[in-house]
Chains A and B, each alone.
Chain A
Amino acid sequence: MSRNALLAAVAVIALAGPAAAQNRVTIQWQTPNLTEAQYEPIWKQTIAEFEAANPDVKVEPILVARRDHWTKFVASAQARQAPCVVAVDLTTAAAEGYLRPMDDLWAKEPASFRDAWAPEMLSAAKWEGKLYGLPNWGGTYAEVYNRELVEKAGLDPKNPPKTWDEYLRWAKALTGPDRWATSILGGKTDTTTRVLLTWIWGNGGEAFNADMTEATFAKNPKSLEAIKFYLGLFTKEGVASPAPTTTNYLEQTVLFAQGKIATMRNAYWSIAKVIGDNPAIEGKMFVAPMPANIPNAPTLASVSAHSISQSCRYPEQAWRFIKFDMDKKWAIQRAVKANWMPLRRDLVNEPELKADPMLAEFVRIGANARSYPLPHPAWADIAVNDIVDAVQKALLEPARTDEIFRDLDVRVTRKLRQ
């Protein structure tokens, strides 16, 4: 090679290197789950394979604890610096203008891709007719039991309680010294609200009217009856673990993993958490529909969707990453390893998913579920502040339950109509 040719080659390399680096864009990705141990290997692999397939995009995960997730997102969104790809309370974020409508990107996709999502699933990711997210995983709530404790109490795991009377009989049998049947969730997160809603729906009650302009926690007698029964498991019956006002998902799963409580109302993802806390419990749990006072009572299905923030400078790259993350491969891994239920309807017959009997049962129970969060811009505030405060007050002063939930109806109705 002549000296001139060598110099030319060096110059080309020197110029091309920085040019390629300049063309590479960085998109940030923030969800409340990236810090969860069971998901970490999956998302790391997802990013690695995406970056290998898309050398022009670098994905930077934003690791933030669940409790600080919304705060960090809002702070960055207010500064017009929000991560490109986010999983947040979709309705609230869309109503606040923090998210970018995705209809244009969605419309460009082939029908084969779009058909993977049922229309009712997509409707959970819409606000005022626009698509603001693509649902990627969910969780159906059901009753999870510790088989060993059930058998020890002389109860039949093959015949779990179907009504509240039966549930109470089981709960009394499962309660003993330093051990309780269940936990009441009253901590300051929206998990408290999720579980409360399942009890209300299980009694044929409603927390809101049909168009969500009025709260009916106390106004609807069935709702109030359900609230009293549920909270009464702690305040009246003594079959629930102590300190409900500080009990959240974390405490509940720890108590269950340690055998302190025999049953918990939770989603499929709690199974991975419990096994992570106590590997010895694997294979010793079973799941059943939530006991209810009405036939075919609906359960709650939490839907998590990936959205693109309004301040994202690279929506096309963000959309590419969202699509990549929605791939069957990752959905199956999330289901098998992190116990997150896939929401693509074309995965129903995947052998790996059908092989897990517990997942199959959750899917069966989820056939009759209402999606969560509820579609109102003030929902995040109502779910975490107002409803939780009322639950805490009623747990501390059970004699005032009626009054507390009447006040809640007034307060929440005012917010719904603002």
Chain B
Amino acid sequence: MSNTTTTTNIPDRSWTGRGLARERWHGYLFLAPTLLFLAAVIVLPLFHAFWTSFQRIRGLSSTFVGFANYVRVLEDEAFWHSLRVSLGFVSISVVAHVLLGLLLALALNKITFARTALRVLFLTPWMVAAAVGATIWLWLLEPQFGVINYILQSAGIISAPIAWLGTPGTAFAAVTTVEIWRGVPFIMLLTLAGLQTIPAEQYEAAEIDGATTWQKFRHITLPNLKYLLVVASTLDIINVVRHYDIIGIMTGGGPAGATEVLPALLYNTAFRANRFGEAAAIGVLLLSMVLVFAAMYLRITRVGQEDDRR
């Protein structure tokens, strides 16, 4: 009884009623600048893109055409071709990023000599702006005067210069290789951080039990990195599927559409063909694909957090 009396005399500081409402308003007030900024740079352009995808744009005039742009895009073989190119580009790039990133991280985790210098060195492709990296590769791969052909010819590996960006197969291989070169450090960095969180006691116990290097990797390293690798792969897919810069600079989507991933098709449709409505429709379709992977990412991270809490 006395407890009840005491409680009623204390001012209302609980997270209910007017106090909570006031606190909430303060919270929204502090968040407002950020929310307004995000609305200006994300929500409005996104809304504009959706709106554009329902319009037939001719220069400065536009007409509402409903889903006609989507129908035209989906009926066009160029879209499905680009989708296939995108799938190939993303699959090969992400698998290579993860495998090479993991291998490099394992190696760097072991190395003690010049560790910092090596880490910086391996991070360089990621630190260089994609446009700059692509331009450097463009000249390295130049058929007549490029260093790559010069080295291969000097070593007797090839007898005549190869037009790396001139044929569909080699052009696709070249832009994928450059994407791999650029993307590996990101996965390496994440994996290296993950490796350093694995308790050393697990490896010590395994050594006492006589486990081989492979067994330690298979039963300790991989299970500990599993969550991180899945998250990193998902983030990498979201990242790579949107990439335009490397392909835009090196091939523009050519030759004959061999490297025309969806962002390249979008760019070419908008700025070469001047069909902004269709380009916006391609953008919305691309966004929906990215959202699928983003949903996967959110689900994986939520499950991971729940596992951590348990």
Interface residues of A (CB under 8 A from B): 70-71, 74-75, 77-78, 80, 92, 95-98, 186-188, 241-246, 254-255, 258, 260, 310, 380-381, 384-385, 388-389, 392-393, 395-396
Contact = CB atoms under 8 A, between A and B. Distances in A.
Interface string B154-167: 00000011010111
Given A71-B271, A381-B274, 13 more contacts: A70-B272, A74-B271, A75-B271, A78-B60, A98-B60, A243-B143, A243-B163, A245-B254, A254-B144, A384-B272, A389-B254, A393-B256, A396-B256
A243 B256 contact: no
B210 to A, nearest CB: 57
A385 B272 contact: yes
Contacts of B161: 242-243
A188 B252 CA distance: 8
A384 B273 CA distance: 9
B58 interface: yes
B194 interface: no
A98 B275 CA distance: 15
Q: Which of A70, A260, A380, A392 has the most CB of B within 10 A?
A: A392
Contacts of A310: 60
Nearest to B161: A242
Contacts of A392: 254-256
A246 B163 contact: yes
Contacts of A188: 252-254
23 contacts: A78-B60, A96-B59, A97-B61, A98-B59, A98-B60, A187-B254, A188-B252, A188-B254, A241-B144, A243-B166, A245-B163, A245-B165, A245-B254, A245-B256, A246-B163, A246-B255, A260-B144, A381-B275, A385-B272, A385-B273, A389-B254, A396-B167, A396-B255
A155 B43 CA distance: 67
B138 to A, nearest CB: 9
Interface in B261-275: 268, 271-275
A228 to B, nearest CB: 18
Contacts of B165: 243, 245-246
Given A92-B274, A242-B166, A245-B166, A389 B59 contact: no
A110 B161 CA distance: 59
Interface of B: 58-61, 143-145, 160-161, 163, 165-168, 251-257, 268, 271-276
A295 to B, nearest CB: 36
A96 B252 contact: no
Q: Which of A92, A188, A245, A246 has the most CB of B within 10 A?
A: A246
A85 B167 CA distance: 39
A314 to B, nearest CB: 19
Contacts of B166: 242-246
A242 B254 CA distance: 16
B interface, over-half SS: loop
A92 B166 CA distance: 29
A243 B248 CA distance: 18
A75 B267 CA distance: 12
Nearest to A404: B256
B58 A245 contact: no
Contacts of B271: 70-71, 74-75
Contacts of B254: 187-188, 245-246, 388-389, 392
A149 to B, nearest CB: 16
Contacts of B144: 241-243, 254-255, 258, 260
B75 to A, nearest CB: 13
A384 B256 CA distance: 12
A385 B268 contact: yes
Contacts of B143: 242-243, 246
Contact of A97 (B60, B145, B251, B268): B60
A97 B59 contact: yes
Nearest to A385: B272
A74 B274 contact: yes
Instruction: Identify the 3 closest CB pairs spanning chains A and B, nearest first.
Output: A96-B59, A243-B163, A97-B59
A188 B167 CA distance: 13
A92 B168 CA distance: 31
A70 B166 CA distance: 24
Nearest to A391: B256
A392 B171 CA distance: 13
Contacts of B255: 186, 245-246, 392, 395-396
Nearest to A80: B60
A92 B273 CA distance: 10
Contacts of B257: 389
A381 B58 contact: no
Given A188-B254, A245-B254, A246-B143, A381 B272 contact: yes
A98 B254 CA distance: 29
Contacts of B58: 95-97
Contacts of A78: 60, 276
B82 to A, nearest CB: 13
Contact of A96 (B251, B253, B274): B274
A380 B59 contact: no
A95 B271 CA distance: 15
